Structure 1
Amino acid sequence: MSLVLSAAALRFAWPGADRACIDIERFEVDAGEAVFLHGPSGCGKSTLLSLLAGVLIADAGQVRLLGHDWAAHSGAARDRARVAHVGYIFQQFNLLPYLSVLDNVLLPCRFSGRRMAQASQDGSAQAQARELLARMGLDSSLWQRQAMQLSVGQQQRVAAARALIGHPEVVIADEPTSALDEDRREAFLDVLLAACAAHRSALVFVSHDQRIAARFSRHVLLPEINRAASGVAA
């Protein structure tokens, strides 16, 4: 297997906090691996995802993406690396409300030549964006609407299509099925897991929903590896 994401001796505390919320000796993800990360509220799941994606920088230890330490780069360099190599489905989606659905999906291609080239391998980035939206069950009548005009569940699927476009090496998903009913959830997982498997994208997927855990190749209970969360009640 090829290691794409790793954390070692990782510690992080929010400013003003009297103790660390992340204290992890080792966490690694291989190319093509689908990791289901779960645990009770307050155990540091979203914080860990932000550290893995270089949105936050650790107080101690290292997080490496494709062998490169996030902390060794400036903020601007981290932004460039993230858009080139990481697809992030944020818990609050982070869509640009006044842009169209299609333009939101295409945003990574606007900021990364690598994502644009990857998305255009079999045609054009626009074609891949349309294909992803269709596979996510979003009718073409919605594609030119402003993102703010969509339901929460629809916005969630647009955010997923944006994360997948251009075949990033790592996809990070923070509670991406929370607003979907059972049928939509299963269809969403079909697309997400198939897309990651097809291009050997590593997937780190946070959820409280244990019903979907069996669909992932590895399960990680965060309090078992995060010493700072060992006292958090399940």
Structure 2
Amino acid sequence: MSAVLRAEALRFAWPGAAASCIDIEQLEIEAGEAVFLHGPSGCGKSTLLSLLAGVLVADAGRVALLGQDWAALSGAARDRQRVAHVGYIFQQFNLLPYLSVLDNVLLPCRFSARRREQAAREGGARAQAARLLEDMGLSQALWKRQAMQLSVGQQQRVAAARALIGHPEVVIADEPTSALDEDRREAFLDVLVEACRANRSALVFVSHDQRIAARFGRHLLLPEINRAAELAQP
């Protein structure tokens, strides 16, 4: 296996903060690997995901996706790299509220030729979007609705379908099951984990829910690798 994500001597502090919130010597995520990342609130989980995806840029050290250092790219180039290679399920979903469900799922294919070409291998972007929405338990009657008309749990599943379309090399999921009941959670995980396995996409999954940890091949307790979290403990 080869690393699709690699962090080395990674440091990050929020502006105005007295100390770093991320201080990680080394972290590698392999192609096809399913990683369960957990830890107490405030230990830097969401911040680390943003650094891995190039949403934030490290103050020191290096974070590379497919060998490309995020810090070496302009903001626009980071956006292009991210949409081409990363599916991100944000904690707040980040759906475009006035777009339809289907159009939200199709967004990565509008902005990335690579994702569009990958979807074309499964009959085209619309066909793949339809299959993902069906797999997520979202009926066709919902597909033309504006995203803001959906329940929180439905929006969460739309965001997951958007992350998976076009087979990105990395899928990053920040608490993606928080609004789902037990049955929906299990069905959601079936689709997400199997899609990543089938496409050899690395999956980095943050959750407080230890009941689902057994689905993942590797577990990371963030305070064990993040020295800034250790220093912050009383």
TM-score normalized by the length of structure 2:
0.99
Residue in 1 aligned with 2:223?
Answer: 223
* In structure 1, distance between residues paired with 2:122 and 2:63: 33
Residue correspondence of structure 1 range 12-161 to structure 2 within 5 A: 12-161=12-161
* In structure 2, distance between residues paired with 1:123 and 1:93: 26
Instruction: Name the SS of the counterpart of 2:46 in structure 1.
Output: helix
- Kept after mapping to 2: 8 A contact 1:42/1:232: no
Instruction: Name the SS of the counterpart of 2:114 in structure 1.
Output: helix
* In structure 1, distance between residues paired with 2:57 and 2:232: 23
**Paired amino acid for 2:151:** S
* In structure 1, distance between residues paired with 2:37 and 2:72: 27
Deviation at 1:120, TM superposition (A): 1.1
Deviation at 1:231, TM superposition (A): 4.3
Deviation at 1:122, TM superposition (A): 2.1
Aligned length: 234
* In structure 2, distance between residues paired with 1:122 and 1:181: 30
Percent identity over the alignment?
Answer: 82
1:4 aligned to 2:16?
no
How big is each residue's C-alpha offset from its partner over 1:60-108, in whole Å with a ceiling of 9 and x where there is no partner?
A: 0000000010000000000000000000000000000000000000000
* In structure 2, distance between residues paired with 1:119 and 1:151: 27
* In structure 2, distance between residues paired with 1:233 and 1:132: 41
Gap regions ≥5 residues in structure 2: none
- Kept after mapping to 2: 8 A contact 1:93/1:156: yes
**Paired amino acid for 2:150:** L
* In structure 2, distance between residues paired with 1:231 and 1:153: 36
Deviation at 1:2, TM superposition (A): 1.4
Deviation at 1:210, TM superposition (A): 0.3
* In structure 2, distance between residues paired with 1:20 and 1:232: 10
Instruction: Name the SS of the counterpart of 1:211 in structure 2.
Output: helix
**Paired amino acid for 1:64:** A
Residue correspondence of structure 1 range 142-221 to structure 2 within 5 A: 142-221=142-221
* In structure 1, distance between residues paired with 2:177 and 2:27: 24
* In structure 2, distance between residues paired with 1:233 and 1:204: 24
* In structure 2, distance between residues paired with 1:170 and 1:114: 14
Runs of 4+ aligned structure 1 residues displaced above 4 Å come to: 231-234
**Paired amino acid for 2:192:** L
**Paired amino acid for 2:52:** L
Instruction: Name the SS of the counterpart of 1:230 in structure 2.
Output: helix
**Paired amino acid for 1:162:** R
* In structure 2, distance between residues paired with 1:232 and 1:34: 28
How big is each residue's C-alpha offset from its partner over 1:170-214, in whole Å with a ceiling of 9 and x where there is no partner?
A: 000000000000000000000000000001000000000000000
RMSD of the TM alignment (CA)? Answer: 0.9
**Paired amino acid for 2:162:** R
* In structure 2, distance between residues paired with 1:212 and 1:15: 35
* In structure 1, distance between residues paired with 2:6 and 2:178: 27
* In structure 2, distance between residues paired with 1:46 and 1:123: 35
Deviation at 1:141, TM superposition (A): 0.3
Instruction: Name the SS of the counterpart of 1:19 in structure 2.
Output: coil
**Paired amino acid for 1:32:** G
